[in-house]
């Protein structure tokens, strides 16, 4: 589920200051931002994880704002190898309906990175072994 929200700029109201949805302090600035139908200090519209200021578009969950990468890292597809989220900038490999970080798609024995076209053997659904190691009999014995 994607919660994309767009930022829009508004003018602060003289006198009747609104509370910022981020820090809950009144907004006395001339300009403020509207996100999630609430008012924010421009400086408070930051990614909750990396603190990067967010421009025109961001992602939200539980009233927190995230940049695209951190949002996907937290809530996006999980890598079947390491269990961490996959962000749109990560390189991935797909195997048997599962998605892996490039770095997690490696031979169990020699740790070399496997490529999609390469002949490989799958153990326990999310472990891989390259052909050479398999033929050399290095696969763990409980996996047939």
How many residues bind Zn ion, per CB under 5 A?
A: 20
| Binder of Zn ion out of 4, 19, 23, 122 (CB under 5 A) | 23
Length of the chain: 144
Separation between Cα atoms, residue 122 and residue 53, nearest integer Å: 42
| Binder of Zn ion out of 32, 58, 120, 130 (CB under 5 A) | 130
Closest CA to 3 of 90, 74, 98: 74
Nearer to Zn ion, 35 or 101 (CB): 101
Q: Are the C-beta atoms of 33 and 9 separated by less than 8 Å? A: yes
| Binder of Zn ion out of 32, 70, 114, 120 (CB under 5 A) | 70
Q: Write down the least CB distance from residue 1 to Zn ion, Å.
A: 18
| Binder of Zn ion out of 36, 49, 92, 98 (CB under 5 A) | 49
Q: Is residue 46 part of the contact set for Zn ion (CB under 5 A)?
A: no
Residue 132 host element (H or E): helix 131-135
Separation between Cα atoms, residue 9 and residue 62, nearest integer Å: 22
Separation between Cα atoms, residue 136 and residue 144, nearest integer Å: 14
Antiparallel, parallel or unpaired: β 8-11 and 31-35: antiparallel
Binding residues among 71-110 for Zn ion as defined by CB under 5 A: 79, 81-82, 101, 104, 107, 109-110
Binding interface with Zn ion (CB under 5 A): 20, 22-23, 41, 44, 47, 49-50, 67, 70, 79, 81-82, 101, 104, 107, 109-110, 130, 133
């Amino acid at each position: 589920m994607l919660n994309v929200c767009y930022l829009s700029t508004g003018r602060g109201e003289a006198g009747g200051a609104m509370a910022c949805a981020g820090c809950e302090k009144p907004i006395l600035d001339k300009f403020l931002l509207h996100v999630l139908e609430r008012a924010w200090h421009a400086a408070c519209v930051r990614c909750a994880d990396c603190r990067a200021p967010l421009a025109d578009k961001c992602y939200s969950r539980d009233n927190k704002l995230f940049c695209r990468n951190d949002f996907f890292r937290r809530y996006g597809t999980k890598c079947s190898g390491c269990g961490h989220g996959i962000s749109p900038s990560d390189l991935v490999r797909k195997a048997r309906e599962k998605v892996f970080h490039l770095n997690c798609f490696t031979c169990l024995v020699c740790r070399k990175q496997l490529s999609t076209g390469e002949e490989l053997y799958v153990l326990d659904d999310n472990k891989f072994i390259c052909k050479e190691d398999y033929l050399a009999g290095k696969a763990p014995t409980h996996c047939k």
